[in-house]
A and B are shown apart, each in its own frame.
Chain A
């Protein structure tokens, strides 16, 4: 697989390590829930539950052997076709992080 890095251009997927579903960006804030049980449920789902779709999947890749940036790669898990590559930083900011 070739990942088209937004800053560096096409790079071999071997330069990257894989973390998993891009929802890992949205870690819940344990203090923002009305009860400890609700916080526990949210953290459990965040940490352990996955949608694991057959088809389009947004996922986190780390350019370990390169510029060490985190990417959000949209890839088809049935064909391995890569549809879109974004900087994870941009995705996180779009979701209101670091404001």
Chain B
């Protein structure tokens, strides 16, 4: 069924009797050509692009819980392509371009809203660094604009401009950045994939990989063995756990990141904003809640909930940037588990086991990457070669010294 304005009117006039489920809850068959492990944003996008762009037959996606129940439903919904390094920027710009055409492409309202993102700067050195970053973005075909203090003040007059220690001096702006309704991304990709014949199998946890002569032949799951020629794993947060079943150790640690939403307020922040002097980023949802977050808790965790010190730290960041936030009450907070990689950048690569492919290590920037991650992973699965924008995301970059370390922190996952 195609969704359209005409369809909405017709259903409204006929008692909404024609709507069916958006996608098919499948039961596993004996074998497939391709199995995608992980029913989050990246896994669903991979299945969708594999079926749509690369025309592959017999694809299944297995998920241990329900689709969209992990990080795609837990993030702060920001999309942007404001990276500095050559290994990253073309990939994220490709992703932003896919976001721009996504709703037409998969015929689903994902509420893609290019409301603009600003990164505030507070010192001359930070201004210079953002100038450099903006130039790098423009060189890769993205948009970037350096705003001065008055331009920022015209947009957000309530910010703490004259903070004695961290005065706001301006911002790097990307007007094409913005927010997307995150759950709708999962549902839209699931619907698009299901319509093209992908079996979406829920409550199906992978417990092992069956191998013969250095090659995978299928997965052992809580619903029995399923055979496959090629298997793609996209289970960010649980990557180390799943790949341990294939006797692999990964260059990453799992960490918990918390996010927060305030009570509903009148419109006050019409774009996305990041604080340059503390780790704090905020936007306002269409329901009025301020959606914000900060740093990861900083220690290995699989708990999907964090501790109070980081709540306090994020609140302090918010108070320092926009003191009026102190009058708002917190409605909810939650946590998600991140693959924190050794250089802060992801991996989309084949493994040493023939037929087994891996996608993970997104740190806490995976949501914005969803379309390109799916596209590039599908490209790798279908053709055996990396997509041109994702050639740097290899396992062996650590061995070869080709790290993609935006923050220059070194092999310290909790600092990326």
Contacts and interface: CB of A to CB of B under 8 A. Distances in A.
Contacts of A45: 249
B253 interface: yes
A7 interface: no
B300 A44 contact: no
Interface string A1-28: 1000000000001100111110000000
Interface in A42-67: 44-45, 47-54, 57, 59
Contact of A77 (B249, B254, B399): B254
Interface residues of B, number: 25
Interface string B342-353: 100000000000
A68 interface: no
A80 interface: yes
B301 A80 contact: yes
A20 B241 contact: no
A49 B303 CA distance: 22
Contacts of A21: 253, 300
A48 B240 contact: no
Interface string A21-40: 10000000000000000001
Contacts of A48: 251, 342, 398, 411
A98 interface: no
Nearest to B339: A52
B5 interface: no
Contact of B250 (A1, A52, A75, A77): A52
Interface in B315-348: 342
A79 B299 CA distance: 12
Contacts of A78: 302-303
A48 B309 CA distance: 28
Contacts of A51: 240, 244, 249
B43 interface: no
Interface in B223-273: 238, 240-241, 244, 249-254
A78 B253 CA distance: 13
A25 B403 CA distance: 23
B254 A52 contact: yes
Contacts, number: 69
A52 B301 contact: no
Contacts of B307: 1, 13, 80
Contacts of A52: 240, 249-250, 252-254, 300
A79 B303 contact: yes
A44 B249 CA distance: 12
A45 B413 CA distance: 15
Interface residues of A, number: 26
B226 to A, nearest CB: 23
Nearest to A40: B399
B253 A49 contact: no
Contact of A49 (B241, B250, B298, B302): B250
Contacts of B309: 13-14
B414 interface: yes
A50 B251 contact: yes
B4 interface: no
B27 interface: no
B303 A80 contact: yes
A49 B251 contact: yes
A36 B243 CA distance: 28
B398 A50 contact: no
Nearest to B312: A14
Contact of A18 (B238, B250, B411, B414): B414
B412 interface: yes
Nearest to B342: A48
A92 to B, nearest CB: 20
Nearest to B341: A48
Interface of A: 1, 13-14, 17-21, 40, 44-45, 47-54, 57, 59, 75, 77-80
- Ranked 4 nearest A-B pairs via Cβ: A52-B240, A48-B251, A54-B302, A48-B398
Given A47-B411, A52-B249, A77-B254, 19 more contacts: A13-B307, A13-B309, A18-B414, A20-B253, A20-B413, A21-B300, A44-B399, A45-B249, A48-B342, A49-B251, A50-B250, A51-B244, A52-B252, A53-B240, A54-B238, A54-B302, A59-B300, A75-B299, A77-B302
28 contacts: A13-B307, A14-B309, A17-B298, A18-B298, A18-B299, A18-B414, A19-B412, A20-B300, A20-B412, A20-B413, A21-B253, A44-B399, A47-B342, A48-B398, A48-B411, A49-B249, A50-B250, A50-B252, A50-B253, A52-B240, A52-B252, A52-B253, A52-B300, A54-B241, A57-B300, A77-B300, A77-B303, A80-B301
